[in-house]
Amino acid sequence: MDESRPNNIPEYGVADLAGAIRRTLEGAFGRLRLRGEITEMKRYPSGHIYLSLKDQDAKIEAVIWKGSVRNIGTMPENGVEMIATGRISTYADRSKYQLVIERLEYAGEGALLARIEALRKRLLEEGLFDESRKRPLPLLPRVIGVITSEKGAVIQDIRTTIARRFPRHILLWPVAVQGQGAAEQIAAAIRGFSALPAGGAVPRPDVLIVARGGGSLEDLDAVRKRVTIPVLRKDFMVDEYQFFEARAHGADLVLLIVAGLSDSQLNEFAALTNELGMRALVEVHTHQELERALEIKPELVGINSRNLKTLEVDPKAFAELLPQIPAELIRVAESGISQRSDVEFAQRQGADAILVGEALVTSADQNLAMRTLLGQG
């Protein structure tokens, strides 16, 4: 017996001690959220991103593995305070520990609002806010031109409101307000109205209304203040500025309608959604749209039973497309859900969630309508 070594002090091999430290460290903390300023951020050719998070007293190294980059939420930026969600891991051969990051988000509104301001400045530099581009509105327009879908509810709202408040002559130029070619149709309608000669057989509008249905950001603000559950901005998202708006007003999810976006837009908007710390509900109606949607590896896929071109609802659309959606994705049934039997049908087909709008907002008793849909009425 070696009496020079106290028998109450444990003895380890290097690998044994490193393993014990790793088990202790990783077991004690598990999954956590770490707040700090991003520094030393570098993306390597391998696709991995290495960085550190620091405050005034300490610094912790971190890594985002290549496979996690796509779903990280918000891409790291040096000098920006962020919150990282992940797990502590150790490197035994270097006696080091690091945070393996699974998700990043802005620590506050400051960084996000700075991004919005940068976008505003870019649009300003492009001259889009120049006074020379603006036209004075007539006090009492004689003819109002409306550019929108002839089948949507919005044209009826416009006609009803104008007739009630100040009856005027309305000219409708029907266009698709979303989908392939919508932007071109809207631009052509503006040019067409502008080309009408003054005093011609068809009166030239004094003002134009380019309209589509949907709520307002004030509605989003009101909901965000009242609930803590995730909030969806259900809108036609066609410009990157809308995504910054959505995040600034508290949205957790946005709607990406595949029918209304090109492949490049779909990829860019999906990446921007993740970068801003939101999730995308990717909406499809056809087999082709579903194939395009799956290319961006979504987490949520919504099957809209309504054909956005004809506005007709076909409940079979969900049943036909659902088997093609990977089981690990969240599958959402949309449109045509107005009663309990519709919910039960979606459940039988394998829906994980439902998206309901019209049945609730048009109900005289929304609480009762919700309970009825949930089978609690």
pLDDT digits (tens, 9 = 90+) for 315-358: 778 888 888 899 899 999 988 888 898 889 888 888 899 998 77
Q: Confidence band (pLDDT; 50, 70, 90) for 108?
A: low
B/e letters for 348-368, b = 16+ CB within 10 Å, e = fewer, are: ebebeebbbeebeeeeeeeee
pLDDT value of position 78: 84
Q: How confident is the model at residue 109 (pLDDT cuts 50, 70, 90)?
A: low
Place of tokens 């409306």: 146
**Domain boundaries of the chain, sorted by first residue:** 14-107, 142-210, 217-373
Q: Which amino acid is at 236?
A: F
**Average pLDDT, rounded, for the chain:** 85
Could you tell me which of 295, 292, 291, 269 has the C-alpha nearest to residue 280? Answer: 269
Confidence of residue 223 (pLDDT cuts 50, 70, 90): confident
Instruction: Decide if 301 contacts 280 (C-beta within 8 A).
Output: no
Closest CA to 299 of 323, 268, 332, 269: 332
- Residue 100 has what pLDDT? 93
**In the CATH scheme, what is the code of domain 217-373?**
3.20.20.70
Cα–Cα distance measured from residue 126 to residue 123, given in angstroms and rounded to the nearest whole number: 5
Query: Which strand ranges, in their side-by-side order, compose the sheet holding 207-210?
Result: 169-174, 143-148, 207-210
Segment holding 29, helix H or strand E: helix 14-29
34, pLDDT greater than 70:
yes
Tell me the pLDDT band of 111, cut-offs 50, 70 and 90: low
Assign domain 14-107 one CATH number from 3.60.70.12, 3.40.50.1100, 2.40.50.140, 3.40.50.2000: 2.40.50.140
Higher pLDDT, 225 or 204: 204
pLDDT tens-place string over residues 139-163: 889 999 999 988 767 888 888 888 8
Q: Is pLDDT larger for residue 25 or for residue 88?
A: 88
Q: Mean pLDDT across the stretch 76-96? A: 82
Q: Give the per-residue pLDDT at 31.
A: 83
User: To 10 degrees, what angle do helices 240-248 and 263-275 make?
Assistant: 20
Give the span between the Cα atoms of 131 and 290, in whole angstroms.
Answer: 43
In terms of Cα–Cα distance, which of 250, 240, 182, 232 is closest to 332?
232
Q: Are 282 and 258 in contact (CB under 8 A)?
A: yes
Pair 104, 83: CB distance under 8 Å? yes
pLDDT at 49: 93
Is the pLDDT at 30 greater than 60? The verdict is: yes
- Pairwise CA distance, residues 105 & 115, whole Å: 14
Q: What is the pLDDT of residue 4?
A: 60
State mean pLDDT over 184-189.
Answer: 91
Which residues, 6 or more positions from 275, have their beta carbon under 8 angstroms from its beta carbon? 73, 74, 75
Q: Report DSSP state, residue 306.
A: B
* Tokens standing for residue 114: 């700075």
> Is-above-0.75 flag for pTM?
no
The CA-based dihedral angle spanning residues 162, 167, 171, 176, taken in that order and rounded to the nearest 10 degrees: 10
